[in-house]
């Protein structure tokens, strides 16, 4: 694995990825995913999962509380809109700083334990943040209603006061909705991906993988695993905060439900589904899950009847009834089943699946070559 990396290869890898991301509106259109709202989600959750992967994929520490950082990023972004103005850049920067500080505090405490205990500690902190955001922190979070930008907010950089249109984040006049919003998110995702790629190839990255493999050997090799893990935790918290800010940049509303532990579970799911520890896997997993959520959940009985219309009637009804469980409202069920199947049969995620298929193909082509050459000397 290591011997194959080189700066040139990585550049190609990055450029191909960038081209694929930026042309998503075109090549995803045929499968019904080519509209900006969904594409924004691909980019945002891709970024979230990429960050989560730096912690979980490299160090193996399973955090069940990353949604808290998403929430902190969101609230910070909206407050930046309220106080400073609708420019997304300060919002994103402040969100990264705030979530980084928050992650430093939670990580410092949680990383005193490992394994399940670490998972439960992070979960406990996230639940505390969530509960507090709903209750006593209402002055900051606006509780159940969610925090939004008001006409009466100061917005110092914008000059404040009333505006003509609705309050939408804008980058020097370009409104961050629709395709403009997507491209902003996509560029942020690319920056995030680039940094993650560098981390994967760096001495720091290999130290994180050492943390996952054998902490005992690490300490007796003169390395202190704690600051390495903490750094990974903070970095991944910053990614989550940035993703939270992007959510508010495309739609300036922050709600506490973003911090719920099911949201933390979702990013775990994305990472595992795509393939923890791989660069592309988590982004792929995130896109897949969001695709399922948006497209699959739009299916209803009518569309199913159309799909299975070719079946004879006595078959069509039960098939539609059963598959109806898995679409529409029931897409979570599909997700749960898929998730279990992945953990059971393909713990490396879809990326491992692709690698396996690739190996099988390679082997079968090798075999045919070998059998061809082997017959010759036998003569």
Partner 1 sequence: MEILRVEGVNKSFGGLRALNNVNFSVEEGDVHAIIGPNGAGKSTFLNCMIGRLAPDTGSVMFGDISLTGMKPYEINQVGVSRVFQTPEIFTDLSLWENIMIPTMAKRDGVFALHAFKRLDQDKEILDKSMHMLEEVGLADKRTVIAGSLSRGDKRRLELAMCLSQDPKLLLLDEPTAGMSRADTNNTIDLLKRIGDRSITKVVIEHDMHVVFSLANKVTVLAQGAIIAEGKPEDIKGDPRVQEAYLGGAHL
Partner 2 sequence: MDVILLQLLNGLDKGGAYALIALGLTLIFGTLGVVNFAHGALFMLGAFCAVTFNKFLSLEIVTTDPTKTTAWGSPLEIRTPYIEVYFGDFGAWVLNYSVPVSILFAIPVMLLVGFIMERGLIKHFYNRAHADQILVTFGLAIVIQEVIKSMFGANPIPQSAPELVRGAADVGAVFGYDPGIIVYPYWRMVYLGFAAAVIGAVFAFLQFTTFGMVVRAGMADRDTVGLLGINIQRRFTVVFAIAAVVAGVAGVMYTPILPPDYHMGMDFLVLSFVVVVVGGMGSLPGAVAAGFLLGILQSFASMNEVKAVLPGIDQIIIYLVAVVILLVRPRGLMGRKGVMEN
Contacts with partner 1 by CB under 8 A lie at 1-3, 5-7, 198-199, 201-207, 209-210, 212-214, 216-224, 227-228, 231, 235
When CB distances are held under 5 to 8 angstroms depending on the partner's kind, the choice from partner 2, partner 1, none that residue 347 binds is partner 2
Dist. CA 342–CA 349, nearest whole Å: 6
**Parallel/antiparallel/unpaired status of strands 253-254 and 147-148:** antiparallel
Look up residue 354 and give its two tokens.
Answer: 């692709």
Q: Which is nearer to partner 2, 93 or 294 (CB)?
A: 294
Shortest spacing between CB 155 and partner 2, in angstroms: 30
Shortest spacing between CB 235 and partner 1, in angstroms: 8
131 binds partner 2 (CB under 8 A): yes
When CB distances are held under 5 to 8 angstroms depending on the partner's kind, the choice from partner 1, partner 2, none that residue 120 binds is partner 2
When CB distances are held under 5 to 8 angstroms depending on the partner's kind, the choice from partner 1, partner 2, none that residue 325 binds is partner 2
CA torsion angle 207 213 216 221 (round to 10): -40
- Residue 74 has phi, psi (to 5 degrees) of -65, -50
When CB distances are held under 5 to 8 angstroms depending on the partner's kind, the choice from partner 2, partner 1, none that residue 89 binds is none
212 binds partner 2 (CB under 8 A): no
Q: Which is nearer to partner 1, 35 or 204 (CB)?
A: 204
285 binds partner 2 (CB under 8 A): no
When CB distances are held under 5 to 8 angstroms depending on the partner's kind, the choice from partner 2, partner 1, none that residue 122 binds is none
265 binds partner 2 (CB under 8 A): yes
Which of 92, 76, 293 is CA-nearest to residue 189?
Answer: 92
Shortest spacing between CB 279 and partner 2, in angstroms: 20
Site residues (CB under 8 A) for partner 2, limited to 321-350 = 325, 329-330, 332-333, 335-337, 339-340, 343-344, 347
Q: Which is nearer to partner 2, 60 or 181 (CB)?
A: 60
Shortest spacing between CB 330 and partner 2, in angstroms: 5
Strand partners, 147: 254
With contacts defined by CB under 8 A, how many residues of the chain interact with partner 2? 42
Shortest spacing between CB 215 and partner 1, in angstroms: 10
Shortest spacing between CB 218 and partner 1, in angstroms: 8
Q: Which positions lie near partner 2, rule CB under 8 A?
A: 60, 62, 109, 112-117, 119-121, 123-125, 127-128, 131-132, 134-137, 261-262, 265, 268-269, 272, 325, 329-330, 332-333, 335-337, 339-340, 343-344, 347
């Amino acid at each position: 694995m290591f011997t194959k990396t080189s700066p040139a290869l990585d550049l190609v890898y990055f450029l191909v990825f960038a081209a694929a991301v930026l042309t998503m509106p075109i090549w995803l259109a045929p499968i019904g995913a080519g509209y900006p709202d969904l594409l924004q989600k691909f980019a945002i959750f891709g970024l979230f999962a990429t960050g989560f992967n730096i912690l979980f994929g490299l160090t193996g520490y399973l955090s069940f509380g990353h949604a808290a950082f998403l929430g902190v990023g969101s609230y910070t972004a909206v407050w930046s809109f309220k106080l400073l103005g609708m420019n997304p850049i300060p919002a994103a920067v402040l969100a990264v700083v705030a979530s980084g500080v928050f992650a430093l505090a939670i990580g410092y405490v949680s990383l005193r334990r490992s394994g399940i205990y670490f998972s439960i500690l992070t979960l406990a902190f996230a639940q505390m943040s969530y509960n507090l955001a709903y209750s006593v922190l209402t002055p900051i979070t606006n509780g159940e209603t969610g925090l939004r930008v008001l006409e009466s907010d100061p917005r110092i950089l914008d000059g404040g006061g009333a505006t003509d249109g609705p309050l939408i984040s804008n980058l020097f006049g370009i409104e961050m909705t629709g395709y403009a919003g997507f491209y902003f998110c996509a560029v942020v995702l690319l920056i995030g991906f680039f940094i993650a790629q560098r981390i994967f190839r760096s001495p720091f990255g290999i130290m994180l993988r050492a943390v996952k493999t054998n902490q005992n050997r690490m300490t007796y090799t003169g390395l202190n695993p704690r600051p390495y893990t903490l750094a990974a935790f903070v970095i991944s918290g910053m990614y989550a905060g940035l993703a939270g800010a992007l959510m508010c940049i495309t739609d300036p509303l922050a709600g506490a439900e973003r911090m719920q532990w099911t949201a933390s579970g979702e990013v775990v799911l994305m990472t595992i589904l795509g393939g923890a520890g791989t660069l592309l896997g988590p982004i792929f997993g995130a896109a897949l899950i969001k695709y399922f959520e948006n497209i699959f959940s739009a299916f209803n009985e009518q569309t199913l009847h159309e799909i299975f219309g070719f079946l004879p009637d006595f078959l069509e009804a039960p098939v539609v009834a059963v598959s109806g469980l898995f679409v529409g409202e029931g897409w979570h069920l599909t997700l749960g089943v898929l998730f279990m199947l992945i953990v059971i049969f393909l713990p490396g995620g879809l990326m491992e699946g692709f690698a396996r298929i690739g190996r099988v193909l390679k082997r079968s082509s090798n075999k045919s070559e070998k059998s061809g050459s082997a017959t010759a000397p036998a003569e």
